[in-house]
Structure 1
Amino acid sequence: MKPVAVVPTFFEFESDFVDSLRCIPMIVRYKLDTCGIKLKLPEWVKLTVVEKARLAEQPCYNSAEIAQYRQDLIDLVQRRCHHTVSELGEVNPTWAYLGEVPDEVQLKAQEWECTPLTLQQWLQLDVLQRFALVKLSRSGHEGANFPRAMREFLLLSD
Structure 2
Amino acid sequence: MNQASHCFGFEKDFVGNWRCIPLCVRRKLDLIGVKLKLSHWLEFTQEQRQMLVDWPDELPALNELRKHLRLLTRLMAEGMAKDLPIGVDEPWQVLGELPSIVQESARKKSIEISVSQWASLFELERFALCKLARPGHDHHNLDAAFNEVLG
Work out the CA distance in 1 between the residues paired with 2:115 and 2:84: 29
SS of the aligned residue for 1:101 comes to coil
User: Which AA in structure 1 matches 2:69?
Assistant: L
User: Which AA in structure 1 matches 2:149?
Assistant: F
1:68 has 2:99 as partner: no
User: Which AA in structure 1 matches 2:67?
Assistant: Q
User: Which AA in structure 2 matches 1:76?
Assistant: L
Equivalent position of 2:22 in the other structure: 25
Measure how far apart 1:154 and its partner are.
3.1
Equivalent position of 1:51 in the other structure: 48
Match of 2:143 among 142, 147, 150: 147
Cα deviation digits, residues 60-100 of structure 1 (max 9, x gap): 322x2222000111111124446221112354521111112
Measure how far apart 1:44 and its partner are.
0.9
Whether the 8 Å contact between 2:32 and 2:62 is mirrored in structure 1 is yes
Q: Which runs of 4+ in 1 moved over 6 A?
A: none
1:10 has 2:7 as partner: yes
User: Which stretch shows the higher mean deviation, 88-97 or 45-54?
Assistant: 88-97
Q: Percent identity?
A: 36
Whether the 8 Å contact between 1:46 and 1:81 is mirrored in structure 2 is no
Unaligned runs of 5+ in 1: none
Unaligned runs of 5+ in 2: none
Equivalent position of 1:114 in the other structure: 110
Measure how far apart 1:19 and its partner are.
2.3
Aligned residues: 149
Work out the CA distance in 1 between the residues paired with 2:137 and 2:20: 11
What RMSD in Å do the two structures reach over aligned CA positions? 1.8
TM-score normalised to the size of structure 2?
0.89
1:83 has 2:79 as partner: yes
Whether the 8 Å contact between 2:31 and 2:86 is mirrored in structure 1 is no
TM-score normalised to the size of structure 1?
0.85
User: Which stretch shows the higher mean deviation, 42-51 or 133-142?
Assistant: 133-142
SS of the aligned residue for 1:16 comes to coil
Measure how far apart 1:134 and its partner are.
0.6
User: Which AA in structure 2 matches 1:20?
Assistant: N
